[in-house]
Amino acid sequence: MKTILNSFMVIMLIIFSCTILSADTGSQAQFSWKESISWGNKIGHMKWSAKAEGLIIFNDDDSGILRMGKGARFFLERKGRDSLIRLEAFPDVDGTPFFIYKENGKEMPYNALVQEILKEGLGMMLSYFGINAETRIRRAYQRGGVAKVIDLIQGFNSDHTSVIHYSEFFMLQDTDENEIADVLMAMAEHITSDEEMATVLPFYFMNHLRKKKTWDPFLKCMYTMESDDEKARALSVGFVNPGNGLDELLVLLKAVGTIGSSFCASQVFSAIAPESIEMKAACQEFFQALAKIDSDHDKAFVILSILNHKGISDSLRSACRDASADFHSYCEYKRVNCALRD
C-alpha cells in the first residue's frame, strides 16, 4: 500500500507545506525550501523561469515578497524575442527583500512596472507549486461560488497545478453535494493526465464520497482514464477510507468495473479491509464483483489476501470457499482450500 499511496502523500505534503499566518497587515503565506527549486513556463513567445531557496514570505494575493529569511534567494527571469528581464531578491539585515532588476544586462531602478512583472511571474510560479492555493480557492468561492472556482482552476495550463487546487476545493467544509458534483464534472472534462486524476480523487474519497449526487460524476472521471494502473491506484485509496459504509462500497465496486486488467482489479480488491465486507450485503456485492475477474490466479490472490487476515468470520471464510468453487483452475482452487484448512 505504500507505493499505492505515494503520489497521494506527495500532494498532501505540497498542500500542507504552506503555513498560513495571521498578521495585522492580513494573511501571509510562508514557504521554506531547504534546497533550490526551479520553475519554468512559456506563454506565447515569452519564456518565464524562477528559482527560490530558503524561507520566503509572500503576499496572500501573490503580488510580492514581504520578508525573507537569512540566506534566502529568489530569482525571476522573463525572456522574449528581443528582451531579457531579470529580477533577483535577497534579504536585508532585517529580512526586508532587496531587489536587483536588470533589462538586457543593464541594472535599472525597481519601479511600479517591475512590480507588475514580479506579480505576474509570482502568480504563475506560486500557483504551480500550490502556495496560497487554499487562500486562492477560498477567495474564488466567496466571490462567485463553484463557477468562479472552476474558472480559476481551468485557467491554469498545467494538470499538476489544477490538481493541487481541485484538492484544496475538496477540503473545503462548507460546500454542498451539487457543487462537488459540478467540480467532478469539470475535472472529467479538464484533466487530461491519468496520473493527476488518480492523485486528486483520494481527496474526494476522504471528504465527499458519501454524497450520492456526486457518484455519477465520479464514475465519469473514472471512465475518462485510460490507464488501469492509475485507476487501481486511485480506487485502492478509496477502499481503505475508514468512513465507508455499504453505499460507498457499492459505488467503489462499480468503479472497479471500469478496470479492464484482471491484475489491476485484483490489486484493488486486495486493498479492501475484510471487516468492511463482513456484512452479508457487502459480502455478496464484493464476491459478485470479484467473479467478473477473468483470471483465476488473480481471484485466488484476492481471496488469499483476505484469508491472511486474522480473526475473519466463519461466514466470510465460507464465502471465500464458495468463490473458489467456481474456479476453472484446479491449481488455484487447491491453493485457496489449503489456506482455508490452515
| 3 state SS of 260 | coil
d(CA 318, CA 324): 10
Residue 304: pLDDT over 90: yes
Q: Lowest mean pLDDT: which of 28-37, 222-231, 255-264? A: 28-37
Domain boundaries, the chain: 27-121
More confident residue, 28 or 155: 155
Residue 339's contacts (CB-CB under 8 Å, 6 or more residues apart) are: 303, 304, 307, 308
- Per-residue pLDDT band for 17 (boundaries 50, 70, 90) equals very low
| pLDDT surpasses 80 at 150 | yes
Q: Record the pTM.
A: 0.77
**8-state DSSP, 174:** S
Q: How far is CA 47 from CA 87, 111, 215, 244, 262, in A?
A: 14, 22, 41, 47, 45
pLDDT band at 30 (very low <50, low <70, confident <90, very high): low
- Model confidence at 24, in pLDDT bands (50, 70, 90)? very low
pLDDT (average), residues 18-47: 63
Query: Rounded CA gap, 247 and 244, in Å?
Result: 8
Question: Is pLDDT at 136 greater than 50 in this prediction?
Answer: yes
The pLDDT assigned to 128 comes to 83
Residue 275 pLDDT = 87
Counting residues of the chain whose pLDDT is more than 70, the rounded percentage is 90
Over the stretch 49-69, which tens digit does the pLDDT of each residue have?
Answer: 999 999 998 887 788 899 999
